[in-house]
Amino acid sequence: MVELISGRICRLRIAEGQMHRMERIIYHRYPTREWGCFFLFGYRSCSWGAALSVVEIFPPQAGELNRQSHIFEPSPGYIKRAAQLAMDTGLCLGVVHSHPEGCSTSPSLLDDDMDSYLADTQGGYTKFRPYLSIILSKTDDQVSFSGRCWLDGQWLDVKSLEIVGIRLKKHLSYRHHPSERDIRDPSRERLGDALGEASHAALRSAKIGIVGCSGTGSPAFERLVRAGVGSFVIVDPKPFKASNLERMAGSYHRHLGKSPAKVAMLRELANEIDPSIKVMAIVGNALDDLVLDQLLDCDIVLSCTDTNHSRAFLSDIGCHYLLPVIDVAVGFDGKDSRVSEQVVEFVLYGGEFPCAHCDERIDSYWMSVELMDEQTKQERREDAAKFEGDGAQYWRGEPPQLLTVGYLTGMVGDMLAGYTIGMLTGCFEMPSTRFQFDITMPNLGCVSASRIVDSECHCESCRGKADAAVAWRSVARPIHWPRPVFL
């Protein structure tokens, strides 16, 4: 008997290219007969349930599935081969099969038997790692699915299947379809006219993570709140300063001379616009494990900090957990009252895209300084002073304070909200997964970067492995940093 526990769910992510490969196999005998395959996945157990991500599809070889049967019947040899591979790679075993067109994707009694048997059998090989079983079916463009994961001795419901590419296709399990009551929303009628009625439900059921709540993060947040995104996780370690007033949404004259947490100010802003929106406000840094747990419960994470460590970490997370991350950067330069550069960059991480190291967007020296404690910095300065050269291998100074202006960061925040809405609703996409422009250049100087995975980079071999790739993260939380505070 397979009984789902309540209160904890799973989110399953798969890169778009892997999903195509999986569909080619499982719909091989569609629409009347079932077919399926094994796959390997990574996972992270979180307070809310588990983040699961597909690493590799493992197609059946000739004779490994029973062709005479109408249903999916893996042979003992196929099961053994798949369980052995899970054991050898340190990953977990999953199985997917199709149900015929028009049939429900709720598990049959035979599926219950198969899942009980496979969870047990693979556990013998993998020392009781999780086991995952999903069922898919489609009609035209509609996908129906259900899934369950055996984790720590319990069956958890798989709430969503999230296909990550330049688009995000999120399929909710048939048990979690939003009710009609949630969908009607007169205050967002005009947005519905522009993007279609279905956009309300897509936005209302979405959860967005925002890391960095100042120049770009705060306007993106405000725009998404107004558009009706239902839930947020917002993260920033810093309190408000007077210099933030020029660019931070939700900051007012009354905040001057006080130093509330930026995330608290944004939560207040959301409350004034629409009190039904849920905001988890965290004073802390994305590198903390407790924060990561919450980011993995988001549909998309917006990287709005412009620090090397945060960019490196969120790009790692995008790769290891397949989580979509949109990163923005703003470059402003000038001299003698003349502005020479006002560059904006958008980059999409997650799914199958190259990481921030492949893109050469991480300066490892500045990253190490960002993570250093004061004592180490002082020792480096002293070592550099003793050195009979320029001492640059010890100390090149503090990271420069980036120049930036509110009109530029506000525009970037708004565009970022736009691409997030496009991704969530499926109405439009970013023009490419990495592009730059300069608002002072003729034709805005737009360029799209070609992106390739660097063969020296380990991101490709870590893709989807989740916590099994933790040793390959390019950055870890320094122990001298304070733990996060959930407001």
Cβ contact 214:236 at 8 Å = yes
How many residues touch Zn ion (CB under 5 A)?
A: 6
Q: Check residue 111 for interaction with Zn ion (CB under 5 A).
A: yes
Binding piece for Zn ion, criterion CB under 5 A, among 59-67, 334-342, 381-389, 457-465:
457-465
Q: Rule CB under 5 A: which of 414-443 touch Zn ion?
A: none
Cβ 454 to Zn ion, closest distance in Å?
A: 6
Binding piece for Zn ion, criterion CB under 5 A, among 74-82, 325-333, 349-357, 407-415:
349-357
Binding piece for Zn ion, criterion CB under 5 A, among 105-113, 381-389, 465-473, 474-482:
105-113
Among 459, 462, 468, 469, binds Zn ion (CB under 5 A): 459
Q: In whole angstroms, what is the distance from residue 371 CA to residue 480 CA?
A: 9
Site string for Zn ion, 364-403 (x = CB under 5 A): ----------------------------------------
Q: In whole angstroms, what is the distance from residue 167 CA to residue 40 CA?
A: 23
Binding piece for Zn ion, criterion CB under 5 A, among 149-157, 238-246, 355-363, 373-381:
355-363
Binding piece for Zn ion, criterion CB under 5 A, among 103-111, 248-256, 327-335, 468-476:
103-111
Among 357, 380, 463, 477, binds Zn ion (CB under 5 A): 357
Is 463 buried (19+), middle (13-18) or exposed (0-12) by CB count in 10 A? buried
Which lies closer to Zn ion via its Cβ, residue 2 or residue 457?
457
Which lies closer to Zn ion via its Cβ, residue 79 or residue 213?
79
Q: Check residue 358 for interaction with Zn ion (CB under 5 A).
A: yes
Site string for Zn ion, 299-338 (x = CB under 5 A): ----------------------------------------
Which lies closer to Zn ion via its Cβ, residue 315 or residue 420?
315
Q: Check residue 359 for interaction with Zn ion (CB under 5 A).
A: no
Radius of gyration of the chain (CA): 24
Which lies closer to Zn ion via its Cβ, residue 134 or residue 358?
358
Which lies closer to Zn ion via its Cβ, residue 304 or residue 358?
358
The residue type of 112 is: D
Cβ 361 to Zn ion, closest distance in Å?
A: 10
Which lies closer to Zn ion via its Cβ, residue 299 or residue 359?
359
Which lies closer to Zn ion via its Cβ, residue 159 or residue 357?
357
Q: Check residue 166 for interaction with Zn ion (CB under 5 A).
A: no
Q: Check residue 355 for interaction with Zn ion (CB under 5 A).
A: yes
Among 366, 457, 478, 481, binds Zn ion (CB under 5 A): 457
Which lies closer to Zn ion via its Cβ, residue 165 or residue 230?
165
Residues that bind Zn ion (CB under 5 A): 111, 355, 357-358, 457, 459
